[in-house]
Amino acid sequence: MRFGSLLSSLSLALLTATTVQVAAVQAADVVVATTAIVEHPALDAARDGVRDELAAAGYVEGENLRFLYESAQGNPATAAQIARKFVGEAPDVIVPISTPSAQAVVSATKDIPVVFSAVTDPVGAKLVGDPMKPGGNVTGMSDLSPIGKHLDLIKQITPDAKSVGVMFNPGEANSLSLLELIKQEAPARGLSVVEGPATKTSEVLGAAQSLVGKADVIYVPTDNTIISAFEAVVKVGIDNKIPVYAGDTDSVPRGAVAALGFNYYDVGRQTGKMVVRILKGEAPGDIAVEGVDITELYVNPGMAEKMGVTIPEALIQQAKEVVR
């Protein structure tokens, strides 16, 4: 055998051995696939929380973890495509963040463990039948907002308000559930509800403008479509001196007067703990759906002033974060 041929054979052997080693490492990796209906600060924070909790448990991206993420960019049809793609890749766990993404993933697989996150009403969304005993391959985290407390906060800052404009996407099951809760809770606080529907982000500005002259305040629940275009709502609030409130604290730095909500990074960390339990052998159907008990108050006094209201000093003192 010539020296060149011998060298080529050795190189081929080394390359083959290396390829086998890499394949073996990849085969040993844990694969967690995450997806969200759209990218915005709250959902992004939840995703990051999941990844960090996995790292804390010893599943480190680039070492022994493949952490996949795709956004549906607000399109339910894309969410369904992503769900089918992930199912085809057969990850160890799929983590859909938001109700539309969770519905798409749960419809796509009955075998791969699914841990949803940031889902308002998992029963209403038909993800599980019994939150305490989900059964099957699905469990997760509910971020059902404390609507009564949100309306109390609105009345504390704007006590003369008689009507609340609620912006929502009628195509999101989570938003319809929240709208019904608002309608139930509002009358006891002397508030009527004015609906401001928008089915896509390009409609948000017009929907907010439609509330001018009809609503004393605007409330944006944890609706992915509206939050994605939240700055458009803030502009209407400033231009027309209508205070804008939000259901998630991440919207306060973006212009909401105040919000009493969850830290979505913490929601992600809590979701990640559930994923770790499954990776260690627990069946998702045996893990009860969890809620978030801790709420945090964020206020934005400067934005309140631009919208014609003053946040009471007592509330500012209670706030977890004051946006200046």
Q: Which of 145, 201, 154 is nearest to 175 (CA)?
A: 145
pLDDT band at 23 (very low <50, low <70, confident <90, very high): very low
Please give the pLDDT value at position 28: 56
pLDDT in tens, 158-204: 999 999 999 999 999 889 999 999 999 999 999 999 999 999 999 99
Whether the per-residue pLDDT at 133 is higher than 70: the answer is yes
**Collapsing DSSP states into helix, strand and coil, what is residue 142?**
strand
Of the given ranges (12-16, 62-66, 151-155, 293-297), which has the lowest mean pLDDT?
A: 12-16
How many Å apart are CA 178 and CA 144, to the nearest integer? 8
164 conformational bin, left if phi > 0, alpha if psi -120 to 50, beta if neither:
beta
pLDDT in tens, 33-56: 999 999 999 999 999 999 999 999
pLDDT band at 19 (very low <50, low <70, confident <90, very high): very low
pLDDT in tens, 89-120: 999 999 999 999 999 999 999 999 999 999 99
Element (H, E) at 233: helix 230-240
Task: Quote the mean pLDDT of the chain.
Answer: 92
Residue with tokens 């401001």: 196
Report, as an integer, the average pLDDT of 142-150: 94
Please give the pLDDT value at position 243: 98
**Collapsing DSSP states into helix, strand and coil, what is residue 202?**
helix
Element (H, E) at 267: helix 264-279
Whether the per-residue pLDDT at 69 is higher than 90: the answer is yes
Q: Please check whether residue 125 is in contact with residue 241, taking contact to mean a CB–CB distance below 8 angstroms.
A: no
pLDDT in tens, 52-64: 999 999 999 999 9
Residue type, 243: P
How many Å apart are CA 44 and CA 102, to the nearest integer? 15
Report, as an integer, the average pLDDT of 73-84: 96
- Percentage of residues in the chain with pLDDT exceeding 90? 87
Whether the per-residue pLDDT at 8 is higher than 60: the answer is no
Q: Which of 83, 88, 25, 31 is nearest to 61 (CA)?
A: 31
Residue type, 34: T
How many Å apart are CA 154 and CA 142, to the nearest integer? 23
Domains in the chain: ranges and CATH: 6-143+264-286 (3.40.50.2300), 147-261+296-322 (3.40.50.2300)
How many Å apart are CA 173 and CA 220, to the nearest integer? 15
Please give the pLDDT value at position 14: 45
CB neighbour list of residue 148: distance below 8 Å, 6 or more residues apart: 185
User: Residues 130-157, buried b or exposed e (16+ Cβ, 10 A)?
Assistant: ebeebebbbbbbbbbbbbeebbebbeeb
Whether the per-residue pLDDT at 26 is higher than 50: the answer is no
**Collapsing DSSP states into helix, strand and coil, what is residue 195?**
strand
Whether the per-residue pLDDT at 208 is higher than 70: the answer is yes
